[in-house]
Amino acid sequence: MTLPLADVRVLAVEQFGAGPWATLQLADLGAEVIKIEDPASRGDVGRYVPPFQEGESSLFFETFNRGKKSISLDFRHAVAAEVFHDLVRAADAVYSNLRGDQPQKLGLTYDELREVNPRIVCCSLSGFGMTGPRAGEGGYDYMMQGLAGWMSLTGEPGGPPTKSGLSLVDLSGGYASAIALLSGIWRARRDGVGCDCDVSLFETALHELMYIGPWAATHGYVPPRRSDSAHPTIVPFQNFEAADGWFVVAAAKQKFWEKLCEVLDRPDLAADPRFATMSGRNDHRDELVPALAAVFRGRSVADWLELLVGAGIPTARVNSVEEALVDPQTLAREDVVEHAHPVLGPVRSIRTPLRLAADGESLERPPERGPFRGEHTDEVLRDLCGYEPERLRELAAAGVFGPPPGGDA
């Protein structure tokens, strides 16, 4: 069965998290992703992130780079541009996650490459974009959660600014840039013309303010932090403590509220005019939530799940990470996959959520290990660019792929 992106080839000048996360989505669906790693910095910094790191292999790197190829190329070398252009002729896209001023300096933009391949799509994911006063600055997820206002919204009332437990701006920026890149490829194949894609972590984070952005921009309204991870305006839609743990009740519709009152045997709450509407429940949350919390503390999480889920009310246990990985739904959907690694041993990771299938057959790449640094240099240049062994030896000896044998590391 042909994988959905089996005819897509991406050159990725990427490292760390956000960029590799973007191209991972493409690789999982069959794209050939060729990482171009800088030998002077020993390649992708993700190779060296602890814990569970040995030499140039780490579980961090495996998470973001399974199923990709790796070549070494020193862009500082005078011949590197020639080699890179030969690769561009055989590619659909050039992807990078560098500072916003770097793609132009390194010749990774459409203006620089259109003469080499008029259909090439050049996608940049940077901290702040390729223009503006901060284009030349580096940017990381935690910074963007602070700058875009996320930290001011997160945590308990009166607590310090708080980031998300995961690097959600990095992950979202990866998804956004992957969508942009695929859109550019679609257009190039339709119209014969490539383009630049300019995606930033900062603007991704701003965009993901969602409805809070329009509330603030239009009416100057920003909801206060709520206890127990409560929704800013929908009640009840939050964590509640049971006798033995925590669970989430998500009564996001009027019918769920009415059914909840039935299950709790609290017709008084259903009949109370203060709580009759979504707006009323929000206005009177300080009276309603404590009443519900007192009831929920009287039974176990398992009891509440049986009662509420059985009644069709969206409800979920608050799991630890370990519990999430063995949740019955996780196991039923085979969400944890395994691949072998010659250094790290068996590696268990999380399967892609991008599930495509035809005739009962999965259209995703089977689990594969990430590449060793420069592992595919000769193979890629031979197969894509037609380089003969003698040409490869000359380039290696000249240091185009890094220090020649016996040179300084």
> Residue 368: is its pLDDT beyond 90?
yes
- Rounded alpha-carbon distances, angstroms, from residue 132 to 101, 180, 368: 10, 20, 40
pTM for the predicted model, two decimal places: 0.94
CA distance 93 to 122: 6
Question: What pLDDT digit, counting tens, does each position of 149-167 carry?
Answer: 999 999 999 999 999 999 9
Confidence class of residue 404 from pLDDT cuts 50, 70 and 90?
A: low
Give the Cβ contact number of residue 207 at 10 Å.
Answer: 13
| pLDDT recorded at residue 406 | 45
Q: CA torsion 380→381→387→391, rounded to 10°?
A: -120
Q: What is the mean pLDDT of residues 195-222?
A: 98
User: Percentage of residues in the chain with pLDDT exceeding 90?
Assistant: 97
Domain ranges of the chain: 9-208+334-398, 227-318
What is the DSSP track for 327-392? -HHHHHTT-EEEEEETTTEEEEEEPPS---EETTEE-SPPP-PPPPTTTTHHHHHHHHH---HHHH
> Residue 215: is its pLDDT beyond 70?
yes
CA distance 41 to 248: 45
CA distance 46 to 396: 25
- Which positions are annotated as active-site residues? 170
Q: What is the mean pLDDT of residues 262-271?
A: 97
> Residue 407: is its pLDDT beyond 70?
no
CA distance 225 to 232: 7
In this structure, whether the domain defined by 9-208+334-398 belongs to CATH 3.20.20.150 is answered with no
> Residue 41: is its pLDDT beyond 90?
yes
| pLDDT recorded at residue 71 | 98
| pLDDT recorded at residue 388 | 98
| pLDDT recorded at residue 375 | 97
> Residue 75: is its pLDDT beyond 70?
yes
Mean pLDDT computed over every residue of the chain:
96
Single-letter code of the amino acid located at 83:
V
Structural contact between residues 260 and 249, judged by C-beta atoms closer than 8 angstroms = yes
Question: What pLDDT digit, counting tens, does each position of 114-141 carry?
Answer: 999 999 999 999 999 999 999 999 999 9
- Rounded alpha-carbon distances, angstroms, from residue 42 to 17, 80, 147, 393, 402: 16, 17, 31, 20, 9
Closest by CA position to 140, among listed 65, 207, 202: 202
Q: What is the mean pLDDT of residues 403-409?
A: 55
CATH H-level, domain 227-318: superfamily: formyl-coa transferase, domain 3 (3.30.1540.10)
| pLDDT recorded at residue 403 | 83
Phi, psi of 315, deg, nearest 5:
-145, 145
